[in-house]
Amino acid sequence: MSYNPFSLEGKTILVTGASSGIGQAIAIECSKMKARVVITGRNSERLQQTFDQLEGSGHVQIVADLNNEDDIEKLVAESPVLDGLVNNAGRGLSKPVNFIKMQDLQDVYQTNVFGVIMLTKMLLKSKKISKDGSIVFTSSLSSYMTAAGLSVYASSKAAVCAYMRTCAIELGPKNIRCNAVLPGMVETKLINDGTYTDANKEADLSLYPLKRYGSPIDIAHGVIFLLSDASSWITGLEMVIDGGRKLK
């Protein structure tokens, strides 16, 4: 067998928000790297579509809503012991600061922050994350380089990074590594649904030195690196994957 420190062979990885977009790509690419993948999401039909694209065998799908504590408990109970956890589930919001409502905060923070914290805590308390494990959080470039309308979303993703750094310190003695990926704009349905005009897109793309948005697979490959033994001495990292957008 050829040497490959980036392989996930023999590892079991849980990916949340795996029914579409970046989460779906992470799950599929992890399976291609020989991981046993546990996928979760709220929509059973879309989760099945991801499951059908996984390579290899032994994979598991668990329908769960991370906004619901009972569902989180069910997910933890049904999960096998994990070598990797990808806290990817999230939701967006674009709204000017003068129009933010308490419900907006509750909705975004419940998914992007509270659900992430509670799932991680319950898995750790249940000893479902093995020593030498890796936890990867999906944050966003907007956590420190934001734009008008993104105050709620950007602040929730900044909270994810702060939580990740604390986890890295607390879990380091167990050799459990904690890192985050911070994607720039990624080609998903969100920017191709008609609300993001061609003019908007052209102006924004001019700020990317590589002259394209990322694909979900671009983010998945960064996540795989952080899950693999190739990153065994990396913890507390905020890995920006943005086609050079931060340079401008």
Q: Is residue 196 among the annotated active site residues?
A: no
CA 240 to chain centre: 13
pLDDT at 200: 79
pLDDT at 2: 84
For residues 177 and 130, is the Cβ–Cβ distance under 8 A?
A: no
Per DSSP, 214 falls in state B
Task: Give the pLDDT of the chain (248 residues) as one tens digit per residue.
Answer: 589 999 999 999 999 999 999 999 999 999 999 999 999 999 999 999 999 999 999 999 999 999 999 999 999 999 999 999 999 999 999 999 999 999 999 999 999 999 999 999 999 999 999 999 999 999 999 998 988 899 999 999 999 999 999 999 999 999 999 999 999 999 977 666 555 677 878 888 999 999 999 999 999 999 999 999 999 999 999 999 999 999 98
Q: Which residues pair with 16 in a beta bridge?
A: 40
Residue from 87, 172, 91 nearest 136 by CA: 87
Choose, from 153, 163, 208, 213, the residue flagged as catalytic: 153
Which amino acid makes up residue 248?
A: K
- Please give the Cα distance from 175 to 38 (Å, whole number): 22
pLDDT tens for 23-54 read 999 999 999 999 999 999 999 999 999 999 99
pLDDT at 199: 80
Cα distances from 191 to residues 25, 32, 112, in angstroms, run 17, 27, 20
pLDDT tens for 49-93 read 999 999 999 999 999 999 999 999 999 999 999 999 999 999 999
Q: Which CATH superfamily is domain 12-240 in?
A: NAD(P)-binding Rossmann-like Domain (3.40.50.720)
DSSP readout, 154-202? HHHHHHHHHHHHHHHHHHGGGT-EEEEEEE--B-SGGGSSSSS-HHHHH
For residues 192 and 226, is the Cβ–Cβ distance under 8 A?
A: no
Residue from 117, 125, 83 nearest 232 by CA: 83
Task: Give the three-state DSSP class for 129.
Answer: strand
pLDDT at 201: 83
pLDDT at 198: 78
In the block, residue with structure tokens 């291609």: 32
pLDDT at 239: 98
